[in-house]
Amino acid sequence: MRLKTFKIGGTHPPECKFSERAAIEELALPTRAVFPLGQSLGAPPVPVVQKGDAVKVGQMIAKGEAFISSNIHSSVSGKVVAIDDCIDASGYKRPAIIIEVEGDEWDASIDRSPDLKRTIHAEKEEIIAIIKEHGIVGMGGAAFPSHVKLMIPEGKKCEALIINAVECEPYLTSDHRLMLEKGEELLVGVKILMRAVEVKKAYIGIENNKPDAIAHLTELAKGYDGIEVVPLKVKYPQGAEKQLIQAIVNREVPCGKLPIEVGVVVVNVGTAVAVYEAVQKNKPLIQRVVTVTGKSLAKPSNFYVRIGTPTFMLIEAAGGLPDDYGKLVSGGPMMGKAVTSLDIPITKGTSGILLMTRKESKRIPVQNCIRCAKCTTICCMGLEPYLLSNLATCNDFEQLEGEGVMNCIECGSCQYICPSGRPLLDMIRTGKGQVGKIIKNRNVK
């Protein structure tokens, strides 16, 4: 059988899935948890607790008041000791709620039993309201508030739900383990999402390097009408929304538009499981699976972690910093970002912690472009990365916008493939940020 994939560009970096056979382990509680307010796209939520307040696990501590925002709930029980600026994964100081942990007292309304709840009682509007109330966001990295994605605009219709189980980023395996260990919860979550967007068909796209997950979910899906598991060719960045939609339903999302323009909604595997827990168990998004990995790490692992836990606790549980440690990356090597502190807290969007060796983290010397066109060939959005990089370097933002820089998905393929070691993505990101500001100011006027 010919495997499906997207049409333009793409590459296949070394997979390095060292933790794919590591079962999910629950990490110990931190002594102090830090909750950055900016854990999702959109406006930061507003704190609803004060210094000195006692909180329980699952209690709301910050409320998203804007249309695009998400609530934050405490993942620990204890006392609020500060609402202050803390350094987050971006390296900047951001407002955060800090809680000293005292025991592990949960909100009594949360169902903590391991029992699977297959029967879905909630209907569309109630499902979306629960997802909003429980602070569910996209857990593939973008952290877009899920309730907003499920609110189909007037005049649009969702015809298919796609579950993103690709996990094409090298090293990361948290979604893989979720499929193997929480397959039933995932499928009930998919049925809930199908009810929320009113569709009868859902596709779970999984790359063919996860045959155990494909086989497992295919067997389980026999008990769930309308859910189809779709094996995909292994090709990066197949987990990007537009590429995944093209691969599975052969529809092309227009530039600058959202998937709903072609009748599709895309949701990550982790998000679907979180939706199950919210709707069926009344559990807010207070925990997630995080891959901790690296070529020299003693014990590459997948941990079930409370949001707000400091990164160093995960690294210690995975064997500690290796002797040849060179760089710490939040996320995967292609789209993740280097962080400067081991105290950075785990957030809703933290999919992995990668410890790169000194050799891996050292960039090759930058040389002149040799006009090989590899970056253009590999770009899955049909852009010309060498040109965008040059325009950004020259601050020619008008032409940069005209050449489609805002369509760049920042997958890093161009920089990965460049034989001259040119920082293509770095410059494109910088230019894209400036063009975004120009567009925003223009729209305000």
Tell me what pLDDT residue 38 has.
87
Residues 6+ apart with CB under 8 A from 299: 22, 317, 318, 319
Tell me what pLDDT residue 256 has.
83
Distance CA 16, CA 387 (A): 31
Distance CA 21, CA 288 (A): 18
CB contact at 8 A, 194 and 226: yes
DSSP strand pairing (337-339 vs 160-164): unpaired
Domains defined for the chain, CATH in brackets? 1-26+108-362 (3.40.50.11540), 374-444 (no CATH)
Distance CA 331, CA 141 (A): 8
Tracing tokens 């090293």 back to the chain, one arrives at 171
CB contact at 8 A, 374 and 419: yes
Tell me what pLDDT residue 443 has.
83
Q: Enter the tokens of residue 112.
A: 């903590």
8, 5, 43, 38: which is closest to 407 by C-alpha? 8
Q: pTM (2 decimals)?
A: 0.95
Tell me what pLDDT residue 302 has.
98
Distance CA 419, CA 320 (A): 33
Residues in the chain: 445
CB contact at 8 A, 160 and 201: yes
Tracing tokens 């407002």 back to the chain, one arrives at 95
Tell me what pLDDT residue 167 has.
96
Q: pLDDT of the chain along its 445 residues, tens only?
A: 689 999 999 999 999 999 999 999 999 999 999 999 989 989 999 999 999 999 999 999 999 999 999 999 999 999 999 999 988 887 888 999 999 999 999 999 999 999 999 999 999 999 999 999 999 999 987 889 999 999 999 999 999 999 999 999 999 999 999 999 999 999 999 999 999 999 999 999 999 999 999 999 999 999 999 999 999 999 999 999 999 999 999 999 998 899 999 999 999 999 999 999 999 999 999 999 999 999 999 999 999 999 999 999 999 999 999 999 999 999 999 999 999 899 999 999 999 999 999 999 999 999 999 999 999 999 999 999 999 999 999 999 999 999 999 999 999 999 999 999 999 999 999 999 999 999 988 887 6
CA distance from start to end of the chain: 54
What does each C-alpha distance from 211 to 18, 131, 166, 214, 222 come to in angstroms?
16, 31, 12, 5, 17
3-state secondary structure the chain: CCCECCCCCCECCCCCCCCCCCCEEECCCCCEEEEECCCCCCCCCEECCCCCCEECECCEEEECCCCCCCCEECCCCEEEEEEEEEECCCCCEEEEEEEEECCCCECCCCCCCCCCCCCCCCCHHHHHHHHHHCCCECCCCCCCEHHHHCCCCCCCCCCEEEEECCCCCCCCCHHHHHHHHCHHHHHHHHHHHHHHHCCCCEEEEEECCCHHHHHHHHHHHHHCCCEEEEEECCCECCCCHHHHHHHHHCCCCCCCCCHHHHCEEEEEHHHHHHHHHHHHHCCCCCEEEEEEECCCCCCCEEEEEECCCEHHHHHHHCCCCCCCEEEEEECCCCCCEEECCCCCECCCCCCEEEEEEHHHHCCCCCCCCCCCCHHHHHCCCCCCHHHHHHHHHCCCHHHHHHCCHHHCCCCCHHHHHCCCCCCHHHHHHHHHHHHHHHHHHHHHC
Q: Is 368 exposed, middle or buried (0-12, 13-18, 19+ CB in 10 A)?
A: exposed
From the centroid of its chain, how far is CA 119?
28
Please give the radius of gyration of the chain, using alpha carbons only, rounded to the nearest integer. 21
